[in-house]
A = this chain, B = another copy of it.
Amino acid sequence: ARTGDPEVVFGQGKTPGQIVAALRALHEAHPDRAILATRLSEDALAECAEHLPDAVLDSVGRTAVLGRTETRGRVAVVAAGTSDLPVVRECATTIAVFGAEPDEIVDVGVAGIHRLLAQRDRIDEADVVVAVAGMEAALPSVLGGLVGVPLIAVPTSVGYGWNLEGVTAWLATVNSCAPGVVSVNVDNGFGAGVAAARIARRTARTAE
């Protein structure tokens, strides 16, 4: 891509065959860095497993990766629990492909604030923090008061009831009382990952 970023295959709406072919072609054209495919159906993941033995597959995050990218800088991907996991994984895999090291910290929802505070040292080591949060998305605000590094919020469509398919969480992230929080579309772990990696690989702590 013109901007220097890795190539990505958006899997939704493509056939398994198209995805395998695209990954293979892009990998051959860019052997020196990783190629990412996202939003893969179960069929597409199976097709990749069969035809691309070197691909690293993740059935939770629904991604496939061919090749490897050097990483620089660290991104903490923080979330409440298991329901947000697909978004966390899509984000973490994107971060790695785009050149930074992800650190997944889950099961730290704000209704159990001490579990979150217990992870403070690990979060403090990150160059960028991504806060993945569904329902009322309180997590970015609490994190915003704890860290001074760039903080990206990913609202998710996760919820126990009527939550406007993630709009509640989305509105919360752009109205966060913590200054400097930026956000992406609902469930857009990929977008947050691209942004986080771009920042982290330029801001690794040693750089300051």
How far is it, in angstroms, between the C-alpha of A166 and the C-alpha of B167 when the chains are bound? 14
Among the stretches A40-48, A50-58, A191-199, the one at the interface with B is A191-199
Question: Which one of A8, A152, A192, A198 has the highest number of Cβ atoms from chain B below 10 Å of its Cβ?
Answer: A198
A71: Cβ under 8 A from any B Cβ: no
A172: Cβ under 8 A from any B Cβ: yes
A3-B148, A161-B185 given as contacts; is B136 within 8 A of A172 (CB)? yes
Residues on B with beta carbons closer than 8 Å to the beta carbon of A101? none
* CB pair B185 A184 closer than 8 Å: no
* CB pair B136 A162 closer than 8 Å: no
A171: Cβ under 8 A from any B Cβ: yes
A63: Cβ under 8 A from any B Cβ: no
A93: Cβ under 8 A from any B Cβ: no
A109-B177, A141-B138 given as contacts; is B202 within 8 A of A192 (CB)? no
* CB pair B164 A171 closer than 8 Å: yes
* CB pair B202 A191 closer than 8 Å: no
A145-B3, A161-B186, A162-B185 given as contacts; is B178 within 8 A of A168 (CB)? no
A26: Cβ under 8 A from any B Cβ: no
Give the contacting residue for A202; candidates B12, B110, B127, B135; CB below 8 A: B127
Nearest chain B CB to A172 CB, angstrom units: 4
Give the contacting residue for A180; candidates B10, B151, B179, B198; CB below 8 A: B198
A83: Cβ under 8 A from any B Cβ: yes
If A162-B186, A162-B187 are given as contacts, then 14 extra A-B residue pairs at C-beta distance below 8 Å, sorted by A number, are A110-B141, A113-B113, A113-B142, A135-B177, A138-B142, A161-B174, A162-B174, A163-B175, A168-B171, A174-B185, A182-B182, A182-B184, A203-B207, A207-B208
20 contacts between A and B (CB under 8 A): A2-B145, A3-B148, A4-B148, A10-B160, A110-B141, A112-B145, A136-B137, A136-B138, A142-B142, A149-B202, A150-B199, A161-B185, A161-B186, A162-B166, A162-B186, A167-B171, A179-B191, A182-B191, A183-B184, A199-B202
